[in-house]
Amino acid sequence: MKKSISTFLKHPTKDNSNRSANPAVIRASTILFNTMQELYQHEKKIKKHQKISHYSYGRYGSSTTIELENILKELEQAFHVFLTGTGFGGVALAIMSLCRPGDEILVSDNVYGPTKEISEKLLKEFNVTANFYNPDSFEDLKNKVSKKTKMILVENPGSNTFEFQDLSKIVNLAKKKNIFTFLDNTWGTPLYLKPLKLGFDMSFSSATKYFSGHSDAMGGSLAVNKKVFKQIMFFYKLSGYRMSADEAYLIIRGLRTLDTRLKQHYENTKQVINFLKRQKKIKEILYPYKSSSKNYKLWKKYYSGATGLLSIVIKSKKKSSVIKFVNSLELFGIGYSWGGFESLAILQELRSRKKDEYLQGRYFFRFNQDEHIVRLHIGLEDPKDLINDLKKSLRYIK
């Protein structure tokens, strides 16, 4: 029987031997075989990418992580899914697997801070050059492509300033130049966007965020096509970038309600935005809600839904009053990460350089000295309560 994704997520895996509705948590380092011949045959299966229920050694994962791989493989429509112990581990896995001395990567200038740091600082020590392009300009990306370009690394949308890019244009450019493509899809999740179906080689999600949904697990998911599978598998097996069985179990639990949670995050976000857009102290809302905007049109072109992360640009001559606004919020916790059940707020310390300097790999988003970005994650609380909390705290902004 053909099942929708919503139904599939409710029935992805069970522990039939123990009659449990949930998979078993298998923690293992040594995997036992009855004979050497059985071990050899199993290694051949893994090498040929055939279906397996366990690995040959714990460094590659366990039967619990394989259950999660299979769920995400279906959700992503991927050839294979690699699981890492943290979200950022998935980014590092892709870069370190494919880039070699003398190569160059192009990175959208709105990426997650550690992604920028590994690109700009660590890779330099391995003679890999990182160049940053303006995510609002496809021409800027196009002009920066060179014969040395090995990978284009895209975050869509940027998780602080929410620029949406024309993804098909990027894929077409990369294919013509034989360049690998990577998309950080944590905001949209593969429920609303399937990068591999668009032609990207790699689709990344921080499983810490919406996949888990409960702020109690960490992990990364790197879904890949056949083209890059062998190179990434080679480094994955050697590096030990694997996810624990306990984290995999928690993320499987979270995925069962992914569709339901994302719908509510979005409904709550729409109501909060309807309030925020009427507030004079808020200059701009960074989220695809204006049908006339470029970002809205690009969101609509590629995504089947939206989630609960956004930023607001607050106009204030006193940074201390913006800090007081954030500190006075009762229902919005102050902290990194997002994607869990609870609402969060954080003041982002982003400052642009001069026009001719932003291309060197620092945040290009331009705003004045009296403008401040606060990122909000809209959780699953009653939206009326969230609005009242914001309303109460906005009065501190001077």
Question: What pLDDT is stored for residue 350 in this prediction?
Answer: 65
Contacts of 317 (CB under 8 A, 6+ apart): 370, 398
Tens digits of per-residue pLDDT, 28-79?
899 999 999 999 999 999 888 988 888 888 898 999 999 999 999 999 999 9
Question: What pLDDT is stored for residue 21 in this prediction?
Answer: 77
The region, left, alpha or beta by phi > 0 then psi within -120 to 50, assigned to residue 265 is: alpha
Question: What pLDDT is stored for residue 17 in this prediction?
Answer: 65
Mean pLDDT, residues 323-344: 96
Can you spell out the DSSP letters for 175-192? Answer: HHHT-EEEEE-TTTHHHH
Buried (b) or exposed (e) across 45-66, using 16+ Cβ within 10 A? eeeeeeeeebbeebebbbbbbb
Mean pLDDT, rounded, of the chain: 92
226 three-state secondary structure: helix
- What is the sign of the dihedral through the CA atoms of 285, 291, 294 and 296? positive
For the chain, the maximum distance between any two Cα atoms, rounded to a whole number of angstroms, is 74
The boundaries of every CATH 3.90.1150.10 domain in the chain are 258-394
Question: What pLDDT is stored for residue 230 in this prediction?
Answer: 96
Q: Alpha carbon of 386 to those of 217, 258, 276, 281, 322: distances in Å?
A: 25, 22, 11, 17, 18
Element (H, E) at 37: helix 36-47
The region, left, alpha or beta by phi > 0 then psi within -120 to 50, assigned to residue 187 is: alpha
The CATH class, in words, for 258-394 is alpha beta
The boundaries of every CATH 3.40.640.10 domain in the chain are 5-255
Tens digits of per-residue pLDDT, 85-138?
999 999 999 999 999 999 999 999 988 888 888 888 888 899 999 999 999 999
- pTM for the complete prediction? 0.92
CA distance 246 to 262: 24
Residue 250 tokens read as: 């928690």
| Residue 355 pLDDT exceeds 80 | no
Question: What percent of the chain has pLDDT above 70?
Answer: 94
Question: What pLDDT is stored for residue 366 in this prediction?
Answer: 67
CA distance 179 to 59: 30
- The CATH architecture one would assign to domain 5-255 is 3-Layer(aba) Sandwich (3.40)
Can you spell out the DSSP letters for 331-364? Answer: SEEE-S---SSSEEEEEE------TTTGGGTS--
Question: Amino acid identity of 217?
Answer: A
CA distance 64 to 326: 40
Taking a C-beta distance cutoff of 8 angstroms, is the pair 106, 149 a contact?
yes
Taking a C-beta distance cutoff of 8 angstroms, is the pair 269, 384 a contact?
no
Question: Amino acid identity of 178?
Answer: N
